Amino acid sequence: MSDEKKKQPKANLSWDGKTVEVEMLEGTEGERAFNFSRLKAETGCYAFDPAMMNTCVCRSAITYVDGEQGILRHRGYAIEDLVEHCSFIEVAYLLIHGALPTTTQRQRFSRLLNIHSMLHEDMRSFFGNYPEGAHPMAVLSAMVVSLSSFYPELRLDSDKEEIDITVTRLLSKLRTIAAFSYKKSIGEPFVYPSHRHSYCENFLNMMFCSPVSLYKADDYDVAVMNKLLILHADHEQNASTTAVRMVGSTGANLYACISAGICALWGPLHGGANQAVVEMLEKIQRDGLTPDQVVAKAKDKNDPFRLMGFGHRIYKSYDPRAKIAKQLCQAMLKKKRLNDPLLDIAQGLEERALNDVYFQERNLYPNVDFYTGLIYRAMGFPKETFTVLFALGRLPGWIAHWQEMHNDPEQKIMRPRQIYTGPGKTEYVPIEARD
């Protein structure tokens, strides 16, 4: 037995006079877990953990989150450094390929993104059949899964070149689909991508150019767009990433997995919160509520109101992404000489909540969604597109986890168990006897 195996810490699990030894696992940063992968085989019992709040479903080398310290790192790099020094495409490359790209690798990646930026012309007609008020997340998930009808699916034994092409095709086309779905929603003609622009510049131009506007994405907005997409790029085993892994574990194609991730992200408790935050702030403004009144509603168990953009399953401290987003928001409004009353309301709520025992006792702080919607709003995005922008940022993270799962020998089709609480064996009674 290797020295490493000998040193592995153990735990004893005892019940009904029996005891089994359970191996303990330890991660890079010292986080520890009981290895329950043989629990049923060795004890005849399951572990009960609703919502998997205490369960590690895999080993992963992509992202590290320390909720107590407010730390977020991708492949070891601190989120603050990545936002400061990298473009979104470089971070996407880092997440998917495991290292920041060299100049040559970045050039090849950008070239592939440009080659694959167009949608099949037959897919354009899909947009025309959606009703006026179709939510862009519904369009996005449907269009992504439809890509599998136009482009070859990755097989589990696909070679690296095929994976690279499919991954960059998806990264590039999701951006085009996002822009086209917005243009459809406002009844304007689609704006095609151009090889002359960078990833974010292309996206902004596709969103805001029109036959009558001389819009050109300015360097400041392009830089902010890069930073916002980096802030959303990955977050270890969150709900939408778990959905991607779960669907991927059945062998479903990558497009189907990403479509599942988009649908999971849409929920207001997850990525949909960025839209819900702005809708909440707009309602607070309309109703003229004070921070005291809002915080009282958030604390009132008889009131369904929640302070959207606050709280997090992992962060029991200030979400490092929210810190960056708040600074970006303040800087953007100042640069654009915008005075958004919703920012004043948000900052007032933050200050009041952070000084309230209810929030302090539950370690409720602003999360990534609290300020990002206000930045999108200042950039001219309608709130219905905010979660689409979250999906655009999260895509490389989803892809990285999909790849990691398929390369992980410990991974099989996900199939959790349950504690059955229904009726015992029941004899059939014919309907005549039931009447």
Catalytic residues, which ones? 312, 369
- Residue 260 engages ligand SDX in binding (rule: CB under 6 A): no
Q: Is 271 or 291 the residue whose CB approaches ligand SDX more closely?
A: 271
313 binds ligand SDX (CB under 6 A): yes
- In the complex, the smallest distance separating the C-beta of residue 301 from ligand SDX, rounded to whole angstroms, is 7
What residues contact residue 182 under an 8 Å CB cut-off, 6+ apart? 136, 207, 382, 385, 388
Residue number, 108 or 316, with CB nearest to ligand SDX: 316
* 417 token code pair: 């168990």
Instruction: Identify the residue among 106, 108, 270, 383 touching ligand SDX (CB under 6 A).
Output: 270
- 8-state DSSP, 188: P
Least distance from ligand SDX to the Cβ atom of residue 61, Å: 17
Are the C-beta atoms of residues 384 and 275 closer than 8 Å to each other? yes
Phi first, then psi, for residue 11 (nearest 5°) are -135, 150
Residue type (1 letter), 397: G
In sequence order, the 6+-apart residues with CB closer than 8 A to the CB of 402 are 244, 245, 248, 254, 257, 258
CB 93 within 8 A of CB 101: yes
306 binding ligand SDX? (CB under 6 A): yes
Q: Which residue is nearest to ligand SDX (CB)?
A: 311
* Only segment of 244-252, 284-292, 301-309, 371-379 that touches ligand SDX (CB under 6 A): 301-309
**Out of 62, 257, 308, 374, the residue judged to bind ligand SDX by CB under 6 A:** 308
Q: How far is CA 179 from CA 22, 113, 127, 172, 183, in A?
A: 51, 16, 11, 11, 6
**Rule CB under 6 A: is residue 369 a binding residue for ligand SDX?**
yes
Residue 39: CB minimum distance to ligand SDX, A: 25
Q: Is 70 in the site for ligand SDX (CB under 6 A)?
A: no
Q: Catalogue the long-range contacts made by 293-302 (C-beta closer than 8 Å, 24 or more residues apart).
A: 294/349, 294/352, 295/349, 295/352, 295/353, 295/356, 295/358, 295/359, 298/353, 298/358, 299/356, 299/358
The sign one gets for the Cα dihedral 58, 156, 62, 74 is negative
CA-to-CA distance for 370 and 332, rounded, in angstroms? 16
Among positions 169, 183, 235, 352, the unique one binding ligand SDX when judged by CB under 6 A: 235
Least Å distance between CB 69 and ligand SDX?
A: 15
Contact 266, 134 (CB under 8 A): no
119 or 298: CB nearest ligand SDX:
298
**Chosen residue from 238, 249, 275, 403 binding ligand SDX by CB under 6 A:** 238
Dihedrals φ, ψ of 226, to 5°?
-60, -45
Q: Is residue 373 part of the contact set for ligand SDX (CB under 6 A)? A: no
Shortest distance in whole angstroms from residue 318 CB to ligand SDX: 13
Instruction: Tell which one of 248, 311, 320, 373 touches ligand SDX (CB under 6 A).
Output: 311
Q: Does 367 bind ligand SDX (CB under 6 A)?
A: yes
CA angle 103, 108, 109 (to 5 degrees): 95
Interface with ligand SDX (CB under 6 A), residue from 368, 374, 388, 392:
368
Q: How far is the CB of 269 from ligand SDX (least distance, A)?
A: 4
The alpha carbon dihedral of 213, 137, 387, 247 has a sign of negative
The reply on whether position 297 binds ligand SDX by CB under 6 A is: no
The correct pick among 109, 127, 203, 310 for binding ligand SDX (CB under 6 A) is: 310
Residues binding ligand SDX (CB under 6 A): 235, 238, 269-271, 273, 298, 306-314, 362, 364, 367-369
